């Protein structure tokens, strides 16, 4: 089998696309949070910085997942509402865990956010697959 054929076959698998696009989304979100935190941590709480960066990261993630992972052709507005609702729940959980890690255990803000983010991303695949983008194309 040629490398090109193998690559095309693998990109046909949504799990592979989710991992690739998720990797890009994760790096985008982590970089955005890190830069925002480093620039504004003297003026804003890390929780406010998280909310600001999360808003931008979720919008970027919706676009990339809709087009590149799930290849959705369904009505944009309904999927965006579901996607946003799922991320509101994930963000609330993230905020609680981040506050516990930083305020209760005195862990680094950045290391805590990276660790929590990775764990939550894994569970989010199932929400996206079975609720937001179910039967998407």
Instruction: Note whether residue 9 is domain-resident.
Output: yes
Evaluate if pTM is beyond 0.85.
Answer: no
Count of Cβ atoms closer than 10 Å to residue 128 Cβ: 25
Of the listed ranges 99-103, 109-113, 131-135, the one predicted with least confidence:
131-135
DSSP class per residue in the chain: --HHHHHHHHHTSHHHHHHHHHHHHHHHHHHHHHHHHHHHTTTS-HHHHHHHHHHHHHHHHHHHIIIIIS---S-HHHHHHHHHHHHHHHHHHHHHHHHIIIIIT---HHHHHHHHHHHHHHHHHHHIIIIISTT--
What does the pLDDT read at residue 59?
A: 93
Assigned domain for 62 exists: yes
For residues 97 and 104, the answer to whether their CB atoms sit within 8 Å is no
137 falls within a domain: no
Q: Assess if residue 56 is contained within a domain.
A: yes
Domain count, the chain: 1
Distance CA 65, CA 49 (A): 24
pLDDT in tens, 42-62: 999 999 999 999 999 999 999
Q: What is the pLDDT of residue 98?
A: 97
Q: What is the pLDDT of residues 5-46, one digit of tens each?
A: 675 677 888 888 888 998 999 999 999 999 999 999 999 999
| Structural domain includes residue 127 | yes
Decide if 10 is inside a domain.
yes
Compute the chain's Rg from CA coordinates. Answer: 16
CA distance 58 to 84: 8
Domain limits at 89? 3-132
Instruction: Give tens-digit pLDDT for 75-91.
Output: 888 898 999 999 899 99
Two structure tokens written together for 36: 């925002």
In this prediction, residues 97-119 reach a mean pLDDT of 95
Predicted local confidence at residue 136, as pLDDT: 67
Residue 64 lies in a domain: yes
């Amino acid at each position: 089998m040629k490398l090109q054929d193998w690559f095309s076959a693998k990109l046909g698998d949504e799990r592979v696309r989710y991992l690739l696009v998720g990797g890009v989304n994760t790096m985008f979100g982590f970089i955005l949070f890190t830069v925002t935190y480093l620039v504004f941590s003297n003026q804003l709480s890390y929780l406010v910085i998280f909310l600001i960066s999360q808003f931008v990261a979720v919008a970027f993630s919706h676009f990339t997942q809709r087009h590149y992972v799930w290849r959705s052709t369904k009505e944009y507005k309904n999927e965006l509402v579901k996607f946003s609702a799922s991320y509101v729940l994930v963000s609330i959980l993230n905020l609680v865990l981040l506050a516990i890690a930083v305020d209760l255990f005195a862990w680094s803000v950045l290391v805590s956010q990276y660790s929590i983010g990775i764990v939550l991303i894994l569970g989010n695949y199932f929400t996206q697959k079975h609720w937001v983008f179910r039967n998407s194309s």
